[in-house]
């Protein structure tokens, strides 16, 4: 398979049939692509322990696919631990990387560790260590490091220089010494940012080198977890990451570390394996622009509104028509509910099927019921087979939790 699956590579006839059969909005996940992406990444980083970062897409079917491809699962929340277990992942194949964990999350993780002492818990604050000890945890521990350098496609994902994430760099050696008296300190962890491509690799190298130098000084570690962050191209003319170059960089900066290198790709594994399908219901000519209304919105895909993210839009029905500038948006009463503004799209007409590309990461997992919108269905593709892996929500689902609440008559 090629290094990236572009939106133009999806079979248009099949997308039309899926939309007709399962309705829209509809997420489509290509599980053959998920598996191929993992295998390509693991082959490039054959010197590392490669996990999958569940936060990118924690769907049960996706978790099963990557785990069956031999990936362990990195979970950043107790809910992700729960979902991984429900997908059939053994507790020993999980790693829990807590960020400001609520009490209930810590208690869930410690209870899980009681039955699976091979579970590793990662902490990024000294108070989290105290809270773990208070709950009787004395098992496998990793410390999250803040390297003071962030990279990625947007400031909101450049975690490496955000004080929210990890212990201050200068405190780690002291905290590690003290932690060894209370826990089985097995690793250091750092995550620099998300969406790293060629232009970000030098900053990524500098950040990882700082963490690797720290790991060499701390010493006596089982692993050094360098997180994920490796990006994919969202624009149709953007080149993919040179994975071999990225692997050489990681190998070089960790050459003096006497520990297993661990990595946690998420976006790289699932992003280009997903497409979102939507039907055009409105075409409105205005003095400013051509407004194209569709039945998907920011409740289905919030990345354009949250991160000003680019996602390619394809007119599946009218692919051969002349492009015209369009602003494509959904049915929600906010100006943020747009997928693109004044972008050339083959002239849309009411009833056309549009596809939004590269949505397999942080797409359906960020879907919401804002504006009382039921969340979309999802279909998984494997070869010629397809199956519904997430049913479409109904209006009854919108009120179900309230109807079941004891205080509601």
Residue 321, token pair as written in the block: 């028509």
Residue 375 near residue 367, CB atoms below 8 Å: yes
Q: Is the dihedral of CA 262, 249, 177, 126 positive or negative?
A: negative
Residue 75: active-site member = no
| Cα gap 228→191, rounded to integer Å | 6
Residues contacting 366, CB < 8 A, separation 6+:
301, 302, 303, 306
Residue 378, token pair as written in the block: 């999802």
Residue 46 CB neighbours (<10 A): 9
- Residue 381: helix, strand or coil by DSSP? strand
In the DSSP assignment, the letter for residue 392 is P
Helices 172-179 and 126-134 meet at what angle, rounded to 10?
10
| Cα gap 118→94, rounded to integer Å | 9
Of the residues 75, 326, 333, 340, only one is catalytic, namely: 333
| Cα gap 69→359, rounded to integer Å | 21
Distances (CA, A) of 312 to 95, 260, 324: 34, 38, 15
Residue 204 near residue 196, CB atoms below 8 Å: yes
| Cα gap 241→4, rounded to integer Å | 9
Residue 321 CB neighbours (<10 A): 14
Residue 301, token pair as written in the block: 């895909």
Residue 388 CB neighbours (<10 A): 14
Residues with active-site annotation: 333
């Amino acid at each position: 398979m090629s290094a990236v699956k572009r939106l133009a590579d999806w079979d248009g006839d099949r997308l039309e049939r899926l939309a007709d059969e399962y309705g829209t909005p509809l997420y489509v996940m290509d599980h053959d692509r998920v598996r191929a992406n993992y295998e390509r990444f693991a082959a490039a980083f054959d010197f590392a322990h490669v996990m999958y970062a569940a936060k990118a897409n924690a769907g049960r079917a996706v978790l099963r696919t990557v785990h069956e491809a031999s990936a362990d699962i990195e979970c950043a929340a107790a809910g992700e631990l729960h979902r991984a277990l429900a997908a059939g992942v053994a507790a020993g194949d999980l790693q829990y990387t807590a960020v400001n964990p609520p009490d209930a999350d810590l208690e869930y993780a410690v209870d899980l560790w009681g039955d699976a002492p091979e579970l590793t818990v990662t902490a990024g604050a000294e108070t989290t260590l105290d809270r773990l000890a208070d709950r009787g945890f004395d098992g496998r521990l990793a410390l999250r490091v803040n390297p003071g350098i962030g990279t990625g496609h947007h400031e909101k994902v450049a975690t490496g220089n955000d004080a929210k994430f990890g212990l201050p760099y200068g405190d780690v050696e002291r905290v590690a010494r003290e932690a060894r008296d209370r826990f089985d300190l097995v690793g250091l962890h750092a995550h620099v940012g998300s969406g790293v491509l060629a232009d970000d690799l030098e900053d990524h190298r500098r950040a990882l080198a700082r963490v690797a130098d720290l790991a060499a000084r701390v010493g006596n570690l089982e692993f050094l977890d360098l997180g994920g962050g490796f990006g994919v191209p969202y624009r149709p003319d953007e080149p993919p990451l040179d994975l071999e170059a990225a692997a050489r960089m990681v190998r070089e900066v960790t050459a003096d570390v006497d520990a297993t290198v661990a990595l946690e790709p998420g976006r790289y594994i699932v992003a280009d394996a997903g497409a979102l399908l939507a039907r055009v219901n409105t075409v409105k000519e205005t003095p400013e622009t051509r407004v194209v209304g569709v039945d998907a919105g920011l409740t289905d895909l919030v990345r354009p509104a949250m991160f000003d993210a680019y996602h390619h839009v394809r007119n599946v029905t009218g692919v051969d028509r002349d492009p015209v500038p369009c602003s494509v948006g959904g049915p929600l009463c906010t100006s943020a509910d747009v997928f693109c503004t004044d972008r050339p799209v083959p002239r849309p007409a009411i009833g056309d099927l549009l596809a939004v590309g590269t949505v397999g990461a942080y797409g359906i997992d960020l879907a919401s019921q804002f504006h009382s919108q039921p969340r979309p269905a999802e279909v998984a593709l494997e070869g010629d087979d397809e199956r519904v892996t997430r049913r479409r929500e109904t209006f009854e689902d919108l009120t179900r939790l309230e109807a079941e609440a004891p205080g509601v008559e």
